[in-house]
Amino acid sequence: MSIDQAAPRHVVILCHPEERSFNASVAERYCASVQAAGHQAVLRDLYRMGFDPVLHSAERPGPNSVRCKDVEDELDVIRGADVFVLVYPIWFGSAPAMLKGYVERVLGSGVEPSAIQARTAQGVLTGKRLVSFTSSAASDVWLALHGQPRSLESIFDTYITHAFQMQASRHFHFGLITPETSEFAVQCHLSDVDMRARTLVREMKDADHNVLTPKRT
Cβ(83)–Cβ(127) below 8 Å: no
In a domain, 119, yes or no: yes
pLDDT bin (cut points 50, 70, 90) of residue 3 is low
Nearest CA to 17 among 47, 52, 44?
47
In a domain, 217, yes or no: no
E strand spans, 9-167:
9-14, 40-45, 83-89, 129-135
pLDDT bin (cut points 50, 70, 90) of residue 38 is very high
In a domain, 31, yes or no: yes
**Model's pTM, two decimal places?**
0.90
Q: Which domain holds residue 83?
A: 9-212
pLDDT bin (cut points 50, 70, 90) of residue 114 is confident
Cβ(98)–Cβ(15) below 8 Å: yes
Torsion angle in degrees (nearest 10) through CA of 121, 99, 32, 194: -90
In this structure, what CATH number is given to the domain that contains residue 181?
3.40.50.360
In a domain, 103, yes or no: yes
Tally of domains in the chain: 1
Is pLDDT above 90 for 200? yes
